[in-house]
Structure formats: structure tokens, C-alpha cells
Structure 1
Amino acid sequence: YTVYLFSRDNVKDIICMGFLFGILNASVAPKFSMGPTPSFTQLLVSCPKMLLWSWSNLFLFNLHNQRHPEAVAEDTLNKPWRPLPAARISPEKATSIMYLMYFIVLLVALCVGGLVPCLLEMVFCLWYNEWGGSSDPLLKNLQNGLGFACFFAGPFEVVTGHSVFSGKCKAAIWLGILVGCITTTSHTQDFRDKEGDRSIGRKTVPLTIGDQNARLIVAVGVVGWTSLASWYWGGGWIQCSMAWAAGGWMLGSLFWNRTREGDTFTWKLWPAWILGLFLLPVL
């Protein structure tokens, strides 16, 4: 249960989204030159492997992210149920487990696939948590995009048995578009926490460049990347309708209701827009 508490906050947005990306895109694997379409049985057998890949990489990231004294102090106030502030485990023991997880994560990737995304995620994890990458809000957005791409690519490689750089790198290009989507819009989550972030001196995109400017960047990102993704997949209006509908609803909420409740609701719409993009190569 302690292990689960480290990763509880990220099950929906990282593990579930990565799993969905892998399953959906594997169903059209030939479009990416990543082998034949897996059978239902192959997909079913791959599910535990995909989840193991995602969880092991996420757990390593969480250990890095939550073990520092400043992180423990913040979690004591905002998320006291996490293992370190709840004294379920000591920082020293968490650090020891973290080092052990490097071997486990690599072993998992060697056994089930997704080695390159695993190695890249390790680099981005260190950059974000140990090398000061999270201190700059704009750079943090880019790291979010790159990190998410790794968590999308890993399960996709596990289920297909092929690299995202296969063929003409169509899968890699698709992931690059999604990196752009996430980089320019992931600070949507920061609007709901502006007052709390200001009180503790945390630098976020809305506090750094201004609330209105930050919202406009989200709007440009949603419209621009949805347009590019739709063009990339040559989608008709039916194929693109969910992405545009979810993106439009998200932007309407973003500008119409700027209260904490409204911004919280807008952030809940963000995964729906991403899911709409996921469906573009499938429909």
C-alpha cells in the first residue's frame, strides 16, 4: 500500500493515458510501420506488461520527486497521506529503494520492451528532479511534454514489439506533435492553484507571464496543435470531431469561468482533449 501511495496521484494521468495510447495505436500498428495489428489475445497478454512498464518507471520518478526535504515539507501541508510526510518510510530508505529501482526498471524494459523510452525517461527524470529542470516554469512544461511522450511510447513499444522509430518514424513524429500539445497546454493545471503557488513562492507559467497571457498560450496551443494533428492524419470532420469538441469545451471553460472551481473543471477537460487527439489515427 505504501508503494501505491507514492504513485496514487499519477495513476489516471500517466499510467491510464499511456495504457490507452498503447492499446489504441497498436490497433492501427501498420499505419506506423510497427508490425501487424496485434490480435485480441496478444493485446490481452500485453496488458500486464504495459502496466508493469508504466508503473516501474513512474515509481522511480515519484521516489526522485518526493524524497527531497522541501518536497516532504510541502506534502506535509498539501498531501499528508503520502508515505514520507506520513512517516510510513524514511527519506533514507526511500533513497535506497530509488537506487534499487534503476536496476528493476532496466530489467523490466529488457524483458518486456520499451528500452529506449525507459532510458530517455530516466534522463528526463534526473533533469527534472535533480538537475534543476523544474525550477523554470517554461522549461518544466517542455519536460512534462517529453516525459509524457516516454510514458506513451513505452507501452506502445511493449505491445507491438517494435520501436517508435521504425519505418519512416511516423510514430516518433506523432509523439513529437503530442509533446508540442502538452508543452503548450499543461500549465492549465496551474490556474486553479495560483493563490497557493504565490503564497509559497512557486514559479508557474500563469504567475510568471501573467494570467491572461498564459490562457492565450493554451488557446493557441489547443487550436494550433489540433489543426496540425488533424492535417497529419488527414482526418475528416467525423474523425476530428471529438478532439475539436473537447478542445472547444476546454477553451470555453478556460475563458468563461476563471474561478478556482472553473479552472479545476477546465483541467478535468484537458485529458478529454488529449484522448480526442489519441483517436485521430484510429478512427
Structure 2
Amino acid sequence: MSKPQASSTSSRLQEGSMTLCQGESRTKLELKLTAIDTSTLAIGLAPKTAKAALYFLKTLYLFSKSDIPTYVVPCTLFGTLSTLSGSSLISAPVSIPTLLLRVPTVALWAWLFCVFFNCSNQRSPDSVLEDTINKPHRPIPAGRITSSQTGLCMVIGVPSVLLFNYFLLGAWEEMAIMYVVMYLYNDLHLGDNFFWKNFLIATAGNGVYNAGSLRLASGTARASYFTSDASELLTPTAMKWIALVSSAVLITMHSQDLRDLEGDRARDRRTLPIVFGENIARWSIAVPVLFFSLAAAWFWNSGFIGYTEICVPGSIVAYRIIFLRDTKQDRKTYTLWAVWLMALYALPLLKSLP
């Protein structure tokens, strides 16, 4: 009896071993199939994820599109041209190759504020109504994103940008100030009043904006206003120049209101052209543009080339403001007003040239 029992036991062991091997094979096969499914899923999701990311980035671009030529480009040029001008505006000279490497950083910094300011500005019901009339191509009236989704984007984006500036880009103090002004302008509706609108844009949208741009371009953005001495920041001449440019913006900024009259009336905004009348508003832009053209050239003790460089675009803007009075022309004039600002920003560089 012992031999049959041993044979039976051996047979059972062989069967168990075969079952175990088959189980291991099935497990390995299942793992391989799972890996294949995961890879296939990842490959399938990758284009969708990339497409969603591109869609989101395009939406952010569309929020800021109209302000890139009038805010981001001039701000970037201010920092770049002022740094090129040399020691009158910055504490230490910067080589041209180094400056060129910093230009994308300056542009990114300027755009990061611009995009979230526009998200904040365009998400309220009144703004959506205004944009439906004036700018239906913007993301919310065009249906690319909802107001609530835009708000969520800001909740995540604004703190992220501040941390990004604090740890990497620099100039975080300027960005923080501008985000506070963004809240005052949009959420507390100070932008609905022409005085506060111009004042906030001139101080934060131009003065602080340009100071941050100059610090990034000149390499002093990592120095803190709270811990650094004046030699590590901006020169006294730079501060005076920023104040002069900000004054020019403060007094002539309502040139943008002329292109938005229909939407502003629909929203019941008290802009200067609506409160005082279009004629007074136009003259209150044309005359100061000419005045600040001369004042800026005098500030830099410019020669004939300097006076010509700023007075020609200033005269064109003044002429168009007074004599070309329809919405289409006012939009073109506002773009030329931004060109005049960039000519203003170039004066220090012209002065530094031999």
C-alpha cells in the first residue's frame, strides 16, 4: 500500500506545482496586460492633456490679448531701454548679452500680472455685459470659459504667481502691490470712477509696474525694499523719471475711455468723457500729451533728435484725438498713445548715446 500512496502523493504535488506555475503565469500575464492597458491609457490621454493645456493657455492669452501691446510690451521696453541707458537709472552697468537673456523674464513678469488683472476685470456680470457689446471675442462672452471658472483660476493663479516671484523671478513686492490695486480696482469697483481709475492705473499700472520691470532688467529684482539699501535698488533719477512718466499716464490715460463709450454707458460707469463731455475729455488729453512730450525731452536735456523722437508721435496723437472722432479711429489712437509712451521710454537711451 505504501507505493501507491507515495505515487498518489507525488501526483498531487506535481498537480499543485503545475497549478502554482499556471497561477504565476496568469499573474504575470495579468500584470503585463495591466501595464499595456496603463501605457495605452497614458498614450491616449497624452494628446487630450496636451490639447487641454493648449486650450487653457490660449484662453489666458485671449484674456490679455488687447492689453499686450498697450501694457506688456511698453512695460518690457521700459525696463529694457532704461537699463540700456546706463548709470543714470541703474546702480550698476549691465552687458547687452546679459540684458537680452533677462528680457523674456521681464516680459513674463509683466504678462503674469496683466493676465490675472484681466481675469479679475472681465469676470463680473457687468463686465461680461460690457464685453458682449464692445469686445465679444473675449473668452467669457465667447463661451470659452465661465465666470466661476475664471474665479477659480484666479484663486489658484494669484498666490502661485506671488510665490513664483518670491522664490524665482523677484520683484514680488511690486507684484503684491499691483494685486492689491487689482482688488481695489475690480472688486471694490474703484475703476468705475474716472479719478480713481486713472490714479490706480498711473500708480500701480504704470509706476509700480515699470519699477518692477526696471529692477528685473537691471538685476536688482532679488533685493528687497525691506532689507536692502538704496544702492541695491533704483537710483534717485530713476524714481523721478518713473514719477514723471506716471504723471503723464495719470493725466492722459482716459484716452482709452473714448474707445469704450458704448460699453461704459451700458454699465453706467462715470468715466471722464461721460461726466464732463467728449469735447472736454479730448482736449484734456491732447494738450497734456504735447506738454509731457516737451517736459520729458527737457528732463533729459535732449537735443534735436530727442525732441523730434517724442514730439512727432505726441503731435500725431493730439491731432487724432481732436479731429478723428469715431470708435474705430479712437481705438487706433489709443494704440498710438501706447506708441507715444514707448517713445517716452526711449528718451533716456537716446540721451546716453554718443
Alignment TM-score > 0.5, same fold: yes
Amino acid across the alignment from 2:305: I
Secondary structure at the residue paired with 1:158?
helix
Tell me how far 1:33 sits from its aligned partner: 3.4
Could you report, residue by residue, the CA deviation over 1:229-281 in whole angstroms, capped at 9, with x for unpaired residues?
A: 22221112211211111111211222233344443343232122212211111
Pairing 1:76-95 to 2, within 5 Å after superposition: 76-95=132-151
Could you report, residue by residue, the CA deviation over 1:142-163 in whole angstroms, capped at 9, with x for unpaired residues?
A: 2221212233222221121226
Amino acid across the alignment from 2:310: A
Tell me how far 1:109 sits from its aligned partner: 2.0
Q: Distance in 1 between matches of 2:260 and 2:234?
A: 43
Q: Distance in 1 between matches of 2:206 and 2:108?
A: 16
Could you report, residue by residue, the CA deviation over 1:4-48 in whole angstroms, capped at 9, with x for unpaired residues?
A: 111111111111111111111110231113321x22221222122
Secondary structure at the residue paired with 1:85?
helix
Pairing 1:95-244 to 2, within 5 Å after superposition: 95-110=151-166, 111-146=168-203, 147-162=205-220, 166=233, 168-244=235-311
Amino acid across the alignment from 1:69: P
Q: Distance in 2 between matches of 1:59 and 1:199?
A: 24
Which residue of structure 1 lines up, in the alignment, with residue 46 of structure 2?
none
Tell me how far 1:128 sits from its aligned partner: 0.5
Q: Distance in 2 between matches of 1:167 and 1:201?
A: 41
Distance 1:133 1:34, change over 3 A: farther
Contact 2:202/2:246 (<8 A) preserved: yes
Q: Distance in 1 between matches of 2:344 and 2:74?
A: 12
Distance 1:199 1:271, change over 3 A: same
Considering only aligned residues, what root-mean-square deviation do their CA atoms show, in Å?
Answer: 2.2
Amino acid across the alignment from 2:155: Y
Tell me how many residue pairs correspond in the alignment. Answer: 282
Tell me how far 1:125 sits from its aligned partner: 0.8
Which residue of structure 1 lines up, in the alignment, with residue 105 of structure 2?
49
Contact 1:15/1:54 (<8 A) preserved: yes
Amino acid across the alignment from 1:160: S
Amino acid across the alignment from 1:81: H
Structure number with larger C-alpha Rg: 2
Secondary structure at the residue paired with 1:189?
helix
Q: Distance in 1 between matches of 2:65 and 2:303?
A: 38
Q: Which has the higher helix share?
A: 2
Contact 1:142/1:179 (<8 A) preserved: no
Structure 1: 4+ residue segments shifted above 4 A: none
Could you report, residue by residue, the CA deviation over 1:56-79 in whole angstroms, capped at 9, with x for unpaired residues?
A: 111221221112122123223333
Distance 1:197 1:56, change over 3 A: closer
Tell me which moved more, 233-242 or 189-198.
189-198
Contact 1:56/1:104 (<8 A) preserved: no
Report percent identity of matched pairs: 31
Tell me how far 1:132 sits from its aligned partner: 2.2
Q: Distance in 2 between matches of 1:259 and 1:135?
A: 22
Structure 2: unaligned runs, 5 residues or longer? 1-57
Per the normalisation by structure 2, the TM-score is 0.73
Structure 1: unaligned runs, 5 residues or longer? none
Tell me how far 1:200 sits from its aligned partner: 4.7
Q: Distance in 1 between matches of 2:235 and 2:143?
A: 50
Which residue of structure 1 lines up, in the alignment, with residue 40 of structure 2?
none
Pairing 1:246-261 to 2, within 5 Å after superposition: 246-261=313-328
Q: Distance in 2 between matches of 1:87 and 1:273?
A: 35
Tell me how far 1:226 sits from its aligned partner: 2.2
Tell me how far 1:131 sits from its aligned partner: 1.8
Distance 1:205 1:51, change over 3 A: same
Amino acid across the alignment from 2:132: T
Tell me which moved more, 13-22 or 222-231.
222-231
Contact 1:215/1:255 (<8 A) preserved: yes
Which residue of structure 1 lines up, in the alignment, with residue 81 of structure 2?
24
Secondary structure at the residue paired with 1:31?
coil
Amino acid across the alignment from 1:281: P
Tell me how far 1:199 sits from its aligned partner: 4.8
Q: Distance in 2 between matches of 1:189 and 1:136?
A: 14
Contact 1:50/1:155 (<8 A) preserved: yes
Q: Does 1:276 align with 2:346?
A: no
Contact 2:59/2:139 (<8 A) preserved: yes
Q: Distance in 1 between matches of 2:130 and 2:276?
A: 24
Amino acid across the alignment from 1:274: L
